[in-house]
Amino acid sequence: ETGVTQSPTHLIKTRGQQVTLRCSSQSGHNTVSWYQQALGQGPQFIFQYYREEENGRGNFPPRFSGLQFPNYSSELNVNALELDDSALYLCASSKLGLAGYTDTQYFGPGTRLTVL
Amino acid sequence: QQQVKQSPQSLIVQKGGISIINCAYENTAFDYFPWYQQFPGKGPALLIAIRPDVSEKKEGRFTISFNKSAKQFSLHIMDSQPGDSATYFCAVPNTGTASKLTFGTGTRLQVTL
């Protein structure tokens, strides 16, 4: 069984640029969630994708956007990067079943984004 | 927005001792309470989780205790080992599913020899 993978592992951008992060979900999972983890903090929920549509969003501005593809992989896009966007970006996959019951989330290793 | 308070912020325990981390939440319409373990440079990994139809769940050296009336749950690590040194996060679902989580602020555990 293949786990959650993310690319790239590290990324350095400058303020105002745009970035795309990628995630491949675990085999058999149909839901992908993205989290931002600032240094020394817990992960914060950005949004979730299910059946290629956004299925819930945390307190993040519209310049954070995403996609989910038919193979359940996902992208996180961040436009107009700000210094405070520097963080570890985590992708988690899970399986959303009938009646909204959701199985455990499994996290990838994350992408470390540094904005200069 | 769900609020989750985790304590202590850091913890130093001798090898063989018991580590106890606490988590308090606000809302009750949830069905799943996990603890995650995170090592430096890695993503969080599920350690143990409980559903509120039971008050305690044990897996090896790790135990979750759940107190629904107090809206609290805790993680106990028995016979703590140096390899347990990591940051631990509790999490509570934002909604009635397990897939949108609000995390606590984390507890950095150091197990000394």
For chain A, say whether B103 makes contact (Cβ under 8 Å): yes
Residues 6-45 of B with CB under 8 A from A: 6, 32, 34, 36, 41-45
Token look-up 């303020």 returns: A15
Q: Which portions of chain B are predicted below pLDDT 70? A: 1, 28-29, 95-99
Task: Judge whether residue A103 has pLDDT over 70.
Answer: no
Greater confidence (B40 vs A98) lies with B40
A50 to chain B, minimum CA–CA distance in Å?
A: 11
The reply to whether residue A41 touches residue B106, judged by beta carbons under 8 angstroms, is yes
Average pLDDT, chain A: 91
DSSP chain B: ---EEEE-SEEEEETTS-EEEEEEES------EEEEEE-TTS--EEEEEE-TTSSEEEETTEEEEEETTTTEEEEEESS--GGG-EEEEEEEESSSSTTSEEE---EEEEEE-
- In this structure, the strands spanning B107-112 and B10-14 are parallel
